[in-house]
Amino acid sequence: MRLESGRVKISMTDLKALISFYELSPENAAELRRAAEEARRQPWWYDYRSLLSEGFQSYLGYEASASVIRNFEALFVPGLLQTEAYARVALQQSVVPEKEELLDLRVKRQERMLSESSTTELRFLIDEAALRRVVGGSELMEAQIRHLRQISTLDHVSIGVVPFSSGLYPLLRSPYVIFEFAKVDQERVVYLENPDGSVILNNKAIVGVQRSVEDYLEAFWEVENRYAQPITEWSENLPQLAA
């Protein structure tokens, strides 16, 4: 039962025996060997695992394997887009004592996901409130917004700002991340985070969660296409906004 439940990774010896028992074709056997070898590799964040909840470890796994990531934030600049100075101030709110380690983890995530060689499409929507909120001082925020403008020039990154003039719009209260994968048989996943923990939403019903993955995807598309402005357009009046 240990293998069937997924609590123990299969050894190559056991895998070889199963391939022989089921008389798998060479192609199927090779695919299983590749999958087993990949499963046995430690994820890049392995050294940080003691600092991370099980939910956020799952998040990092989705982040590493997604082909498209859509992230909406209402109150803060998304973690992948934060400058080190902004992140340092934001992490002061964390109850975890290992703040420098968490900052290091965030920097490594940014290096991986914002590299020009990254194949993951990143689409961000940020409520204007997150950019109006002065975190660490006006100079820090001006630097943060300049950083957003610079990142938005990357081919695989899109950053939209939802201005106050948009009024109310779908799901504005809840930050969320939608992960989409290249494999046809791998369903989309939505990650929801709140002060009390996180929820990973797929097509299975979850007690207390009324919305579906499709609800979040449709909301993101609507906000992106009907309400959001490119960060470069929104920030044209930066001096007045930062005053």
Residue spans of the domains in the chain: they are 2-40, 46-242
| Predicted local confidence at residue 110, as pLDDT | 98
Residue 235 has pLDDT above 90, yes or no: yes
Would you say 34 and 148 are in contact if contact means Cβ atoms under 8 Å apart?
no
Q: Which pLDDT value is given to residue 89?
A: 94
Would the pLDDT of 172 be above 70? Answer: yes
What pLDDT was estimated at residue 22? 79
User: pTM of the full predicted structure?
Assistant: 0.81
Residue 118 burial (CB < 10 Å; 0-12/13-18/19+)?
Answer: middle
Q: Which fold has domain 46-242?
A: Endonuclease; Chain A (3.30.870)
Q: Exposed, middle or buried: residue 138 (CB in 10 Å: 0-12, 13-18, 19+)?
A: exposed
Dump pLDDT digits (tens) for 75-88: 999 999 999 999 99
Local confidence band at 151 (pLDDT 50, 70, 90 cut-offs):
very high
If you average pLDDT over every residue of the chain, what do you get? 86
**CB-based contact 14:45 (threshold 8 Å):** no
pLDDT score of 3 more than 80: no
In tens, the pLDDT along 101-114 reads 999 999 999 999 99
- Residue 89, classed as helix, strand or coil, is helix
Q: Residue 10's pLDDT band (boundaries 50, 70, 90)?
A: low
Q: What is the per-residue pLDDT across 203-231, written as a single tens digit (0 to 9) for each?
A: 765 545 678 899 999 999 999 999 999 99
pLDDT value for 196: 67
pLDDT tens for each residue of 34-63: 766 665 678 888 899 888 888 899 999 999
Give residue 230's pLDDT: 97
Distance CA 218, CA 241 (A): 30
Cβ contact 225:201 at 8 Å:
no
